[in-house]
């Protein structure tokens, strides 16, 4: 299985600021995704991080708010821009590994004050 | 459209008993389902998956059953242990189009194991 790490593991931020979350995988993967998990809720897909091209966003998520980079097959970043308290969530990256199994990182716990 | 839902938000199970977690889906064309376990403070952990060409799949202490007739799947945990306490999610993978890999999650079931 793929080993995924995320930085930071948690953060407390002031409204109006931005935070960039990093996702690192221990092997090259084709498919990488970013999800959001609001407090006490399930996971919602934000976007697909495409290597070498712009990310593909799901309905309700836009690039200006959640810019994503994917410079290579092992790394991606998600930025949460101009944060408000409603952005307080767990942000998770995931990858599709062998046998098409999707693995998740440990998550970044964000609290916006 | 597609939707995945769970029947029970919380399941209390006595240690040693079997647990059954249920999940319903609405798209009869869905062909791949995954169960995840999420412990407090951690990311979802893959448990087991099943494809639509199967009715049953077994892992270590876990079994997933798929009933395509009523669009229902379940996760059975044998001899539930305290370490099984977590939130369990079923997830539906996108159909084999450009939505492949885009998981749609159910609401989750909190399993509480009591001594």
pLDDT in tens, B54-63: 999 999 999 9
Mean pLDDT of chain B: 89
Asked if B18 and B78 count as a contact pair (C-beta separation under 8 A), the reply is: yes
Which residue segment(s) compose the domain that A108 sits in? 4-112
Is pLDDT above 70 for A76? yes
> Higher model confidence: residue B99 or residue B17?
B17
Question: What's the confidence (pLDDT) of residue B98?
Answer: 67
Instruction: Please indicate if any CB of chain B lies within 8 Å of the CB of A33.
Output: yes
Domain count, chain A: 1
pLDDT in tens, B43-89: 999 999 999 999 999 999 999 999 999 999 999 999 999 999 999 99
- Choosing among 3.30.450.270, 2.60.40.10, 3.40.640.10, 3.30.420.40, the CATH entry for B4-106 is 2.60.40.10
Contacts of A107 in chain B (CB under 8 A): 42-43
Give Rg (Cα) of chain B.
14
Q: Sorting pLDDT into bands at 50, 70 and 90, what band is B1?
A: very low
Contacts of B41 in chain A (CB under 8 A): 109
**What CATH number corresponds to the domain at position A59?**
2.60.40.10
Question: What's the confidence (pLDDT) of residue A100?
Answer: 79
């Amino acid at each position: 299985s793929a080993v995924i790490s995320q930085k930071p593991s948690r953060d407390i931020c002031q409204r109006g600021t931005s935070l960039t979350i990093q996702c690192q995988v221990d092997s090259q993967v084709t498919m990488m995704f970013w999800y959001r998990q609001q407090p006490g809720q399930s996971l919602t897909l934000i976007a697909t991080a495409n290597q070498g091209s712009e990310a593909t966003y799901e309905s309700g998520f836009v690039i200006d708010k959640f810019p994503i980079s994917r410079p290579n097959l092992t790394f991606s970043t998600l930025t949460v821009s101009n944060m408000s308290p409603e952005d307080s969530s767990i942000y998770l990256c995931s990858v599709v590994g062998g046998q098409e199994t999707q693995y998740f990182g440990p998550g970044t716990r964000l609290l916006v004050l | 459209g597609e939707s995945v839902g769970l029947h029970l938000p919380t399941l209390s199970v006595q240690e040693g008993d079997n647990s059954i977690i249920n999940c319903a889906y609405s798209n009869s064309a869905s062909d791949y389902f995954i169960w995840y376990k999420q412990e407090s403070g951690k990311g979802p952990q893959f448990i087991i998956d099943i494809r639509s060409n199967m009715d049953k799949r077994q892992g270590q202490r876990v079994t997933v059953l798929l009933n395509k007739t009523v669009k229902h799947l379940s996760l059975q945990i044998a001899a539930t242990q305290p370490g099984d306490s977590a939130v369990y999610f079923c997830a539906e993978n996108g159909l084999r189009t450009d939505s492949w890999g885009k998981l749609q999650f159910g609401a989750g079931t909190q399993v509480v194991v009591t001594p």
